[in-house]
Structure 1
Amino acid sequence: MAWDLSVDLIQATVQLEQPLADGSRTVGTGFLIEDPTPDGRPRTILVTAAHVFDRMPSVSAKIGYRVQSKEGVWRYDPRTLKIRDGDHPLWIKHPSRDVAAIVVEAPPEFAKAAIPLAWLAQDDTFNKYSLGPGDEMMALGFPRGLSANTAGFPILRSGRVASYPLAPASVFPTFLMDFSVFPGNSGGPVFMAEGARRRPGSTESQEVQFVAGMLTQQVELSGERLEIGIVTHAKYIREAVALLDKPSGPPLIQAAPAKLPSTAAAQDVVAVQAVAAPGFNR
């Protein structure tokens, strides 16, 4: 494989958290995208589910950067991320979907981990690779505030596409994945990284690596979690990022829920004491 999307996305994915007055904390997942400004200046953008920021009442949150020593040892190095100026949100929200984007000043060594915007799926990506129900995708996140290790890396899990059809995104803005969703998963990238998939109408194989979307909700019925995640198409991440370059700024409109019998956004509130570094048992 020429490149490994799984490793690249692990490095670009960060935990977002804010302690609350009752000793619990709001936790979510985000990932960094490299998208230069219209005049070509480098720019790093954090994307996450809009409801993650909506449920953080204070002006600042923590973004879980990681740094590597000269000896190659990783350590968790969270930094303060200002998300409000008084009551005014500093992030932009997609006008119809649960997606938010904010420009961040990441440490230079971490800004390099941001993935190119071009890695996000386009409108025709699913049809191009003949993807559909049963195909396996992967997801990164911090379920219930847990990380993979003390360095703060996200946990990688997988699930199968559980709905049909997947495209066009303008008609089907979300799709389902057979995947248990927990508080802390919201905003994490969902992606496909297959090293060898047969080309449609051919005996030849091809690499299939792209970010399919963002985990934003879970499916519930009568208060029961059905262990099904709702993924918002990457198209709407692209649109949210594009709003950053609108001169007057985007309208701050609450994202509409997916049209399913019963859904719920992950609550993203973890009832444990906030600590300075993520461990296995946060």
Structure 2
Amino acid sequence: MVMDLAVDLIHATVQLEQPLGDGTRTVGTGFLISAPGADGKPRTVLVTANHVFQKMPGATARIGYRIANPDGSWSYSPQQLKIRDGDGRELWTHHPNRDVAAITIKAPAEFAKAALPMNYLAADDTFDKYQVSAGDEMMALGFPRGLSANSAGFPILRSGRVASYPLAPAKVFPTFLLDFSVFPGNSGGPVFVSRGVRPLASGVQQASNAAEAAPADDGFIAGLLTQQVELNNERLEIGIVTHARYIRETIGLMQNPLTQTTLAEGMTAVTGSKTASAEEAARE
């Protein structure tokens, strides 16, 4: 079986929405990660931007599952996802410093299978190891303005080039820029590098095999889209991506909330003169 991270992430990416009661709705994007719980049992985790859930005032959101039919067609089948308890308390876990959220879900069996393992999330050394730099192409999945690729509810796949330098270390540069148009509804979507083929020592190209290849040989999730950049109400067609390290940390907080204080205290402070940055001009 050929491993194609783009196709796998398309299956693992879902639309999140909440009707606001006035004919409008709040829309965002999420994707599924398979991360064992503290007891070692399988667990499906929905990852998105923290502000996606925060902008949903109600207790339940809708998660856009898709169902494969026997004739090869697909049906869009959204289901309720409880995000707040009866007292209005948040049921998701969020990173103390970064716009990342995660929540355990009970997904239909086919969606639980689509969730990607934790080791597809880029680690601190992934960008250096694979020499990711400014100008490299990355892909992003999402639902711009709440639109999907088709009536089955699949996400829209787009691409852009890394527009900032340097990219590492993540502790110092927790976000990076991607040169592509961002719209409301894209927030929370995965940004990734996909390698459908990998080079052999002889120089011959061979399709990656999921059973043999290391995750980074197939590609990796670089982060999630969290903001668009605007200046004086003008969209600059630049997206801000939060490094996957902070997705890892957020999932870790689900098992050990006490580490939240440690993460907050470990935030790097920058003092002295500095230039105006795209991140400071960003809009959700």
Task: Name the TM-score class by shorter chain.
Answer: 0.7 to 0.9
1:13 corresponding residue in structure 2: 13
Hey, what does 2:159 align to over in structure 1?
A: 158
How many Å separate the matches in 1 of 2:242 and 2:51?
13
What count of residue pairs does the alignment treat as equivalent? 262
The one of 217, 238, 241 equivalent to 2:248 is 238
Superposed counterparts of 1:218-257, under 5 Å: 218-246=228-256, 250=260
Question: Which stretch shifts more, 164-173 or 70-79?
Answer: 70-79
Shift of 1:220: 1.2
Matches within 5 A, 1:262-273: 262-266=280-284
3-state SS in 1 of match to 2:114 = coil
- Paired letter, 1:90: L
Query: Residue 195 of structure 2 aligns to a residue in which SS?
Result: strand
Percent identity (aligned): 66
Matched to 2:243, the amino acid is H
Instruction: Return the letter of the residue paired with 1:116.
Output: P
Q: C-alpha displacement at 1:194, in angstroms?
A: 2.8
The DSSP-based 3-state class of the residue aligned with 1:239 is helix
TM-superposed CA distance for 1:208, in Å, is 5.1
Letter in 1 for 2:80: T
Bigger helix share: 2
**Distance change (3 Å), C-alpha of 1:76 and 1:21:** same
Q: Which of the pair has the greater relative contact order for Cα pairs under 8 Å at 6+ separation? A: 1
Distance in 1, Cα, partners of 2:157 & 2:196: 17
SS of aligned partner of 1:167: coil
Q: Distance in 2 between matches of 1:228 and 1:222?
A: 14
Q: Which runs of 5+ in 1 are unaligned?
A: 267-282
Q: Once the two structures are superposed, what CA deviation does each residue of 1:193-225 show, in whole Å capped at 9, x if it has no partner?
A: 1345779xx978794500000000111111211
Q: C-alpha offsets along residues 156-177 of structure 1, whole Å, 9 cap, x if unaligned?
A: 0000000001111000000000
Q: How many angstroms apart in 1 are the aligned matches of 2:155 and 2:134?
A: 26
Instruction: Answer whether contact 1:16 1:64 (CA < 8 A) is retained.
Output: yes
Residue 133 of structure 1: SS of its match in structure 2? Answer: coil
Give the superposed CA RMSD: 2.5
Alpha-carbon distance in structure 2 between the residues aligned to 1:116 and 1:44:
10
8 Å CA contact 2:15–2:143 kept in 1: the answer is: yes
- Cα distance in 1 for partners of 2:226, 2:252 equals 19
TM-score (normalised: structure 2): 0.86
Given that 1:33 and 1:116 are in contact with CA atoms closer than 8 Å, whether structure 2 keeps it comes out as yes
